[in-house]
A = this chain, B = another copy of it.
C-alpha cells in the first residue's frame, strides 16, 4: 500500500512528502469517497487543515481523485481508477450513496447512460448519483 502510493506520486511527478503519501494511502485503503473531515479524523492531528485542503486540490488537479456531486454541501472526493489525465477525467461511472451507512461508493462498472436533451442543448459531461442500500448494508 505504502509503495503503491509512492509509485503513483512518482508517476505523476509530485514531490514525495509525508502528507501526500498518507492521504493517498487513505484513499487506496478506502473503497468509498472521502471528504476533508474524514481525512482530518483519520490522520489524527498530524497535518494542518490547510495542508489537507491543498493536497486534495492538488490530487484533483492531477487527476488522482475526482469530485462527487452531492446535495449536502460537502466536497467529496474519490480515487480515480484509471488514468485520468490531469483535469479531464474519464470517470463516467455512477456513484452510489448508501442511505444506511451513508458511504459513497464508485460503481466503476456502471456507466452513465446518455439521455436525449431538448433541442439546442449540447452535452459535454454527465454525473449520476444513485441513492439506496448498498451491498454491505442489505
Contacts and interface: CB of A to CB of B under 8 A. Distances in A.
Interface of A: 67-71, 73-75, 94, 96, 99, 107, 109-110, 112-113, 115-136, 138
Given A70-B69, A74-B73, A115-B110, A130 B120 contact: no
A123 B115 contact: no
A57 to B, nearest CB: 13
Nearest to A66: B71
A75 B71 contact: yes
A122 B118 contact: no
21 contacts: A70-B70, A96-B121, A109-B118, A112-B128, A113-B115, A115-B128, A120-B134, A120-B135, A120-B138, A121-B132, A121-B134, A122-B138, A123-B130, A125-B130, A126-B128, A126-B129, A126-B130, A126-B131, A127-B129, A127-B131, A128-B128
